[in-house]
């Protein structure tokens, strides 16, 4: 297999870069080791598009966040994913906190954010009636917003595929081939891909990939746990609420999600393993108690999910690494993309595109990077029943064209069979229960798939034309079912079992 550019990693960064580069007539392959994109940090984070007052403008974090923030309205409209600019409030309780808020405001203004405001007194509670009554001040940033980070990533990847990028799932980079200090290929579990340019967007594993190209930095995973509450509680807060940030993190936030659930988290905990997504009792308590400092009455009886995500924190450095390797030609590192990585993704992709042009000039002068005429900016409209509950007449027309859209499979999130079939055949296809869940929310609701998972499994098996025994939760090794029942085997083969027990 051959490509002009190989992107390693299908997170929000890899997918953003893939989409940005698909504007050019280039042969691009994106490889992802899991069975879907958005399987690492991109699925386990707060889903916040930050205003950009936290970091210094002289850092990449500060610069790229500020540059990206205004782009999300159009980008999300094009990608047909929800984005809500609901604004954020950093809550202060003391004089000391007030000074910190002023500092943040000044920094934000230096960065060029114009509409920051410090709010105090009763106005605070008009904005947030359920806020801790002891709160005194808040830094209000109207430009902060919420997004579904995995939906964003999937849509970016879908759009890239439509524009010619090949996305290879369950394809793991094992080694980088180098010849005379020039990249010449990447070895994967599916064989060699010949290429002269590699973009390392491998998230938590970017240090391992960089190492095989001779670059040295170390990524230390920093775990954060989250809790998610039932949809009826999304209105408990109106904005993203942050505590006063620390050096290490922006703290345990309380925010609605774009689907109107209530999200709390993350804490911050060093872990050894890059696959340690386990939740802990202590973490659960820390997150709950932390969030209660902002919103004292949380609906613990309506907890519907909890999970952990890992930040890719680079040892000894408080900024992203986005640069061409100094040791190897044709190798670009995009690493250490922790918060505000999601918020910076569009500008990161543009920056990488610029770096790539320089690299290409040097190593393949014959390759001209020209904009394609036929770049498709937007994804087609993908109607979801849940969005049509007040427009039933319009949905009626959809059902009349395709009856699958009249069969509701997931009762909690109101997802039709038609949407499910569409997700299984979209550009980056859903092939597991979790992949379906991330695309169309079937199984994401209060019953967590208790009712719909047998039905979703059946539809996956029919559409992919494979046995139900092969359907997984999240890729190979996570098969849901073990064997057929005796009854079924008997029916199919006529075999009798010796140990048959009658009750």
Partner 1 sequence: MKLEYDLVIIGGGPAGLAVALEAKRNAVKDILLLERDKYLGGILPQCIHNGFGLQYFKEELTGPEYAERFISKLKECQIDIKTETMVIKITPDKRIVAINRDDGLLHIQAKAVVLAMGCRERTREAIAIPGNRPAGIFTAGTAQRYINIEGYIPGREVVVLGSGDIGMIMARRMTLEGARVKAVLEIMPFSTGLIRNKVQCLDDFNIPLKFNHTITRIKGEKRVERVTVAQVDKNLQLIPETEEEISCDTILLSVGLIPENELTREVGIKLDPVTRGPIVNENRETEIEGIFACGNVLHVHDLADFVTEEGEIVGRAVGEYLKRNRKFRSQSIKIVPGDDIAYVVPQHIDFIIPGRKKIKIFMRVKKPAERVRINLLDDEGRILGSYKKRIVTPGEMVSVYLPEVLLDDKLKNITISIKRD
Interface of this chain with partner 1, residues 323 to 352, rule: CB under 8 A? none
- Residues 418, 307, 470, CA angle at the centre, nearest 5°? 50
Q: Can residue 481 be called a binding residue for partner 1 (CB under 8 A)?
A: yes
Q: Which stretch binds partner 1 (CB under 8 A): 20-28, 54-62, 96-104, 404-412?
A: 404-412
Q: Which of 396, 425, 462, 466 binds partner 1 (CB under 8 A)?
A: 396
Q: Can residue 438 be called a binding residue for partner 1 (CB under 8 A)?
A: no
CB of 290 to partner 1, least distance (A): 15
Interface of this chain with partner 1, residues 54 to 113, rule: CB under 8 A? none
Task: Give the helix ranges, DSSP H, for 163-263.
Answer: 206-212
Q: Which stretch binds partner 1 (CB under 8 A): 66-74, 205-213, 290-298, 446-454?
A: 446-454
CB of 298 to partner 1, least distance (A): 13
Q: Which stretch binds partner 1 (CB under 8 A): 62-70, 252-260, 423-431, 481-489?
A: 481-489
Q: Which of 395, 431, 436, 459 binds partner 1 (CB under 8 A)?
A: 395
Q: Is residue 63 classed as helix, strand or coil in its secondary structure?
A: helix
Active-site residue, from 50, 205, 239, 259: 50
Q: Can residue 299 be called a binding residue for partner 1 (CB under 8 A)?
A: no
User: How many residues of this chain interact with partner 1, rule: CB under 8 A?
Assistant: 63
205 is catalytic: no
Taking the CB of residue 286, how many other CB atoms lie within 10 A of it? Answer: 18
Q: Could you give the string, one character per residue 411-430, with x where binding to partner 1 holds by CB under 8 A and - elsewhere?
A: xx-x----------------
Q: Is residue 487 classed as helix, strand or coil in its secondary structure?
A: helix
Q: Can residue 441 be called a binding residue for partner 1 (CB under 8 A)?
A: no
Closest Cα partner for 269 from 220, 230, 307, 327?
220
Q: Is residue 66 classed as helix, strand or coil in its secondary structure?
A: helix
Q: Can residue 284 be called a binding residue for partner 1 (CB under 8 A)?
A: yes
Residues 319, 155, 446, 391, Cα dihedral to 10°: 130
d(CA 332, CA 360): 11
CB of 223 to partner 1, least distance (A): 13
d(CA 29, CA 19): 11
Give backbone dihedrals phi and psi of 334, rounded to 5 degrees, phi first. -125, 90
CB of 38 to partner 1, least distance (A): 16
End-to-end CA distance of the chain: 59
d(CA 120, CA 236): 20
Instruction: Say which residue the tokens 């509409």 belong to.
Output: 115
CB of 12 to partner 1, least distance (A): 21
Are 173 and 33 a contacting pair, CB within 8 Å? Answer: yes
Q: Is the Cβ of residue 318 or residue 448 nearer to partner 1 in the bound state?
A: 448
Q: Which residues contact 351 (CB under 8 A, 6 or more apart)?
A: 64, 322
d(CA 460, CA 436): 9
Interface of this chain with partner 1, residues 351 to 390, rule: CB under 8 A? 385, 389
Q: Can residue 235 be called a binding residue for partner 1 (CB under 8 A)?
A: no
Q: Which stretch binds partner 1 (CB under 8 A): 92-100, 171-179, 191-199, 400-408?
A: 400-408
Q: Which long-range contacts (CB under 8 A, 24 or more apart) does 458-464 make?
A: 459/409, 459/417, 459/420, 459/421, 459/424, 460/424, 460/430, 460/431, 460/432, 460/433, 460/436, 463/421, 463/424, 463/425, 464/424, 464/431
d(CA 287, CA 429): 34
Q: Can residue 450 be called a binding residue for partner 1 (CB under 8 A)?
A: yes
Q: Can residue 236 be called a binding residue for partner 1 (CB under 8 A)?
A: no
Are 45 and 342 a contacting pair, CB within 8 Å? Answer: yes
Q: Is the Cβ of residue 142 or residue 468 nearer to partner 1 in the bound state?
A: 468
Q: Is the Cβ of residue 370 or residue 392 nearer to partner 1 in the bound state?
A: 392
Q: Can residue 274 be called a binding residue for partner 1 (CB under 8 A)?
A: no
Q: Which of 238, 267, 268, 453 binds partner 1 (CB under 8 A)?
A: 453
Active site residues: 50
Judged by the rule CB under 8 A, the positions of this chain that interact with partner 1 are 227, 232, 275, 277-281, 283-284, 303-307, 385, 389, 392-393, 395-396, 399-400, 403-404, 406-408, 411-412, 414, 446-451, 453-454, 457-458, 468-469, 472-488, 499, 501, 503
């Amino acid at each position: 297999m051959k490509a002009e550019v190989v992107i390693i990693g299908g997170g929000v960064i890899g997918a953003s870069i893939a989409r940005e580069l698909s504007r050019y007539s280039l042969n691009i392959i994106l490889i992802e080791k899991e069975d879907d994109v958005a399987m690492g940090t991109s699925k386990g984070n707060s889903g916040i598009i930050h205003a950009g007052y936290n970091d210094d403008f002289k850092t990449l974090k500060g610069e790229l966040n500020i540059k990206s923030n205004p782009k999300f309205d159009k980008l999300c409209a094009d990608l047909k994913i929800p984005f809500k600019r609901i604004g954020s409030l950093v809550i202060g309780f003391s004089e000391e906190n007030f000074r910190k808020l002023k500092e943040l405001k000044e920094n934000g203004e230096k960065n060029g954010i114009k509409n920051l405001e410090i709010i105090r007194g009763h106005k605070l509670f008009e904005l947030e009636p359920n806020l801790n009554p002891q709160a005194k001040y808040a830094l209000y940033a109207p430009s902060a917003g919420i997004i579904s980070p995995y939906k964003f990533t999937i849509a970016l990847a879908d759009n890239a595929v439509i524009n010619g990028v090949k996305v290879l799932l369950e394809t793991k980079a094992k080694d980088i081939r180098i010849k005379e200090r020039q990249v010449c290929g990447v070895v994967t579990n599916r064989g060699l891909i010949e290429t002269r340019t590699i973009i390392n967007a491998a998230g938590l594993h970017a240090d391992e990939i960089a190492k095989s190209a001779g670059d040295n930095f170390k990524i230390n995973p920093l775990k954060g746990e989250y809790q998610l509450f039932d949809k009826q509680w999304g209105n408990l807060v109106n904005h993203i609420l942050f505590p006063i940030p620390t050096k290490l993190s922006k703290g345990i936030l309380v925010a609605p999600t774009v689907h109107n659930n209530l999200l709390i988290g993350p804490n911050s905990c060093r872990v050894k393993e890059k696959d340690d997504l386990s939740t802990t009792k202590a973490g659960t308590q820390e997150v709950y108690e932390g969030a209660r400092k902002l919103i004292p009455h949380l609906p613990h009886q309506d907890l519907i999910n909890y999970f952990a995500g890992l930040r890719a924190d680079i040892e000894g450095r408080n900024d992203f690494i986005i640069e061409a390797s100094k040791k190897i030609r044709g190798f670009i590192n995009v690493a250490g993309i922790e918060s505000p990585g999601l918020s910076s993704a569009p500008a990161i992709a543009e920056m990488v595109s610029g770096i790539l042009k320089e690299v290409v000039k040097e190593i393949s002068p014959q390759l001209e990077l020209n904009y394609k005429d036929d770049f498709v900016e937007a994804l087609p409209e993908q109607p979801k029943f849940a969005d049509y509950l007040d427009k039933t007449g319009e949905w009626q027309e959809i059902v009349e064209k395709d009856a699958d859209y009249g069969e509701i499979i997931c009762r909690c999130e109101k997802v039709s069979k038609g949407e499910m079939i569409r997700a299984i055949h979209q550009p980056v296809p859903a092939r597991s229960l979790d992949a379906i869940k991330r695309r169309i929310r079937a199984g994401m609701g209060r019953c967590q798939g208790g009712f719909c998972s047998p039905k979703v499994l059946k539809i996956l098996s029919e559409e992919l034309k494979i046995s139900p025994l092969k359907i997984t939760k999240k890729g190979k090794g996570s098969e849901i079912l073990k064997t057929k029942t005796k009854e079924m085997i008997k029916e199919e083969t006529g075999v009798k079992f010796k140990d048959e027990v009658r009750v």
